[in-house]
Amino acid sequence: MSLPRTVGRVILRRLRPPAVALVTAVTMTACTTGAVNPGTSDSAAGSATAPATTSAAPTPSPTASCVDTAYAALSPEQRVGQLVMVALQAGSPSASLKPTITQSHVGNMLYLGGWKTGRADITATSRLLQEMATPEATGGIGLLVAADQEGGVVQQLRGDFTTIPSALTQGGWTADRLRSEAKAWGEELKAAGVNLDLAPVSDTVPAELGKGNGPVGRWDRQFGSTPEAVSQGTVAFVQGMADAGVQTSVKHFPGIGRIQGNTDHTTAGLIDDRMTADDPYLQPFVDGWQAGAGLVMVSSATYPQLDPENPSMFSPAILDGLLRGKLGFTGVVITDDINAASVKSVPVADRATRFLSAGGDILLTGDTPSAPTLVAAISTTAAGDPGFATKVEASVKRVLTLKASMGLVPGCSD
Q: Dump pLDDT digits (tens) for 297-334.
A: 999 999 999 999 999 999 999 999 999 999 999 999 99
Q: How far apart are CA 300 and CA 43, in angstroms?
A: 9
Q: How far apart are CA 16 and CA 240, in angstroms?
A: 11
- By the 10 Å C-beta count (0-12 exposed, 13-18 middle, 19+ buried), 373 is classed as middle
The neighbour count for residue 305, using CB atoms within 10 Å, is 12
pLDDT at 41 over 90: no
% of the chain with per-residue pLDDT over 90:
83
Higher per-residue confidence, 38 vs 308: 308
Cβ partners under 8 Å of residue 238, min gap 6: 17, 182, 200, 248, 250, 288, 291, 292, 293
Q: How far apart are CA 227 and CA 218, in angstroms?
A: 18
For the chain, give the mean pLDDT.
88
- Per DSSP, which regions of 207-358 are E strands? 247-253, 295-298, 332-335
| DSSP-based three-state secondary structure for 412 | coil
Q: How far apart are CA 27 and CA 67, in angstroms?
A: 9
CB 353 within 8 A of CB 343: no
Second-level CATH architecture of 64-405: Alpha-Beta Barrel (3.20)
Q: Dump pLDDT digits (tens) for 221-276.
A: 999 999 999 999 999 999 999 999 999 999 999 999 999 999 988 999 999 999 99
Q: List Cβ<8 Å contacts ≥24 apart for 317-320.
A: 318/253, 318/254, 318/358, 319/358, 319/359, 319/360, 320/358, 320/359
Q: Dump pLDDT digits (tens) for 356-401.
A: 999 999 999 999 999 999 999 999 999 999 999 999 999 999 999 9
pLDDT of residue 61: 53
Taking each continuous run of H as one helix and of E as one strand, the counts in the chain are 13, 10
- Please calculate the CA angle 198-222-33 and round it to the nearest 5 degrees: 30
Q: What is the band of 64 on the pLDDT scale with cuts at 50, 70, 90?
A: confident
Look up the pTM and report it. 0.86
